[in-house]
Amino acid sequence: MKRFTEALAHQAVLASVVALALLLWAGALALWGIATASLTFESWESTTGSGGAVHNQVSYQPGWSVDTWTMKQSHTGKLGLESGFDRVAIQVDHSVEPAQARYFQFDSTSGKELEYRTSCALCHANGPRVLRPAPQTSVEGAGVLSRWVMLLMNLRIKLYGTVQNVVTPLGGRSRSVPLNWGGAAYDEELQHERCVACHGSSGLASRSPLQKRHFMPISFMLKNELMPLGFHGALSESEKQEILSWLRSPFLPKQGKFN
């Protein structure tokens, strides 16, 4: 009997060692997968001025203290072209609490740092944004695993928690296109109770507060019922209208894109 229990215990230890090895192997494979893939997809949120498709290619380079997210973006058709795309990057320093994000725009061919084409913080309220391909479109770059790799990248992005945007100079001078567009009037923070539980609090799912300058991503989330996260479609029509009228007043047009 004793020998039997010993053998059982021995097997259990062996099984745990094997399970742990498998887990480590899967973790390493997952990290390797997301660190080497360049995912290409049509963006759901970003469109051209006339509503046309915008194609993105995103890659992730993890580091001990600073991760680098790089994106090529084409407004003129699928990527794979040698020119005619924007090249941007976000560096996330996760060795500090809260993490810090720095934004860069590069010349697509020479790689030289350039002035921003748009104010990044208009849409990047909290460092890197979750990747959302347009519905019914494909994700390419890691074969059949592309969707899984995207899931892991998105998990990494969410796990940064609150991320602070840091203003950086260009060539030793302040930029002519600011990181934060719109001036002080747009610093006003969204106080809606359905949103502040995560945006502007501390804790695991916490994010930086949303401001009036984030009218584009906020209206995108409301229109597609993507927020509050995990409570799909939970906002009543009147709550949605409350947030939209706060967004519009008194600066934004009442008609058009932000309805």
> Tokens 């720095």 sit at which residue?
102
Residues in CB range of 58: below 8 A, 6 or more apart: 38, 39, 69, 70, 71, 131, 153
Q: Which residues pair with 44 in a beta bridge?
A: none
Residue 132 engages ligand HEC in binding (rule: CB under 6 A): yes
Measured from the CB atom, is 5 or 97 closer to ligand HEC?
A: 97
Residue 46 engages ligand HEC in binding (rule: CB under 6 A): yes
Tokens of 245: 């009228």
Task: From residue 212, give the alpha-carbon distance in Å to each of 95, 217, 238, 242.
Answer: 29, 11, 19, 13
3 state SS of 164: strand
> What is d(CA 177, CA 173) in angstroms, rounded to the nearest whole number?
12
Going 135 to 141 to 145 to 149, the CA torsion angle's sign is negative
Whole-number minimum distance, CB 17 to ligand HEC, in Å?
36
> Tokens 């060692």 sit at which residue?
17
# residues near ligand HEC by CB under 6 A: 49
> Between vectors from CA 49 to CA 45 and to CA 53, what angle results, nearest 5°?
50
Residue 66 engages ligand HEC in binding (rule: CB under 6 A): no
> What is d(CA 116, CA 103) in angstroms, rounded to the nearest whole number?
9
Which one of 13-21, 29-37, 77-85, 229-237 is the stretch in contact with ligand HEC (CB under 6 A)? Answer: 229-237
Residue 126 engages ligand HEC in binding (rule: CB under 6 A): yes
Measured from the CB atom, is 6 or 107 closer to ligand HEC?
A: 107
| Beta carbons of 102 and 163 less than 8 angstroms apart | no
Residue 195 engages ligand HEC in binding (rule: CB under 6 A): yes
Residue 123 engages ligand HEC in binding (rule: CB under 6 A): yes
Which one of 30-38, 74-82, 209-217, 244-252 is the stretch in contact with ligand HEC (CB under 6 A)? Answer: 209-217
Residue 229 engages ligand HEC in binding (rule: CB under 6 A): yes
Residue 120 engages ligand HEC in binding (rule: CB under 6 A): yes
Whole-number minimum distance, CB 27 to ligand HEC, in Å?
22
| Residues at the contact surface with ligand HEC, assessed by CB under 6 A | 43, 45-46, 56, 58, 69-71, 88-90, 103-105, 116-118, 120, 122-126, 128-132, 158, 192, 194-195, 197-199, 205, 207, 210, 214, 216-218, 221, 227-230, 235, 243
